[in-house]
Amino acid sequence: METTAAAVPSRTDTGRDTNMSSGRWGDDPGPSGGRDSASGGVVRALLRPAAQSTYENIFGTVYVGLMVNLLLVVTCSPLLVALAIVRDPVASWPFFLALSCVCAPALAGAFGCFKALGDDDGSAVLRPFWRAYRSAARRALGVWAAGSAIVAVLLVDGVVLARTAWGGALVPFFVTTSALVVAVVVGAVVMVVERPDARLRELVRPSIYLLARRWYLVVMNLVVLTLAVGIALLKPAIGLLVVCSPLLYVVWANTRYALAPILPDDHEC
């Protein structure tokens, strides 16, 4: 009778099998283990709660944007009421072009809030808005009225000359000049907020050169302004109470970047 002795595994073999079955051999995670560890670290970093200051900055920025929209509606109410009453604003465009001057101090107030957003004022809205509104109202109204008059003359001349045989060749000139006038007016409003003590002549002349030099920013601003006006006319609630301040912030930031050489030395672009 033959007896077969059972093979008793040695202690070394048992440890080897245990390490192999658990995926650990000589404490070497291998390439796949390293990737899993790295991906786990990325996931933990993404799921880590943000600092309280981050949430405060986000909610503060949203609050400033909504309040700026509300203040713009209040200060531009004469123009908004007229647009709501008149059925065909295009037919009465000279009247609305003159009435749009009420937007100049309001725009200065909005730019003052955007400037204060990056300063120590934080999420303050009422104080920087009315401070910029009062300090820049006279000069902003002056430059806006002058720009409106120039645009009106260019529009009338363009319509009259377009009917002639050679008037079509001058249409690009009138369109380009009108766009540059609008850009200079917006730039002047930005500058009267940034440099309240400077003379208006000292701000307009270099603004023309700097904006013409960075024409691509002017084109972007015109597209954004056209989008803002279009949304406000088609969807007044959304355009005036939601998207107005973000779009104006883009215009303000682009204009400050273009006019950086004549901004105060302590500005931040």
Q: Average pLDDT, stretch 51-73?
A: 81
Q: Average pLDDT, stretch 48-67?
A: 74
Domain boundaries, the chain: 52-262
Q: Taking the C-alpha atoms of 97, 99, 104 and 110 in order, what is their torsion angle to the nearest 10 degrees?
A: -110
- Annotate 190-209 with b (16+ C-beta within 10 A) or e (fewer): bbbbbbeeeebeebbeebee
For residue 37, what pLDDT is reported? 54
Mind listing the pLDDT tens digit for each residue in 253-266?
999 999 999 988 65
Decide: residue 106, CB within 10 A, 0-12 exposed, 13-18 middle, 19+ buried. buried
Mind listing the pLDDT tens digit for each residue in 190-245?
999 999 888 888 889 899 999 999 999 999 999 999 999 999 888 888 888 889 99
Q: Taking the C-alpha atoms of 144, 221, 251 and 132 in order, what is their torsion angle to the nearest 10 degrees?
A: 0
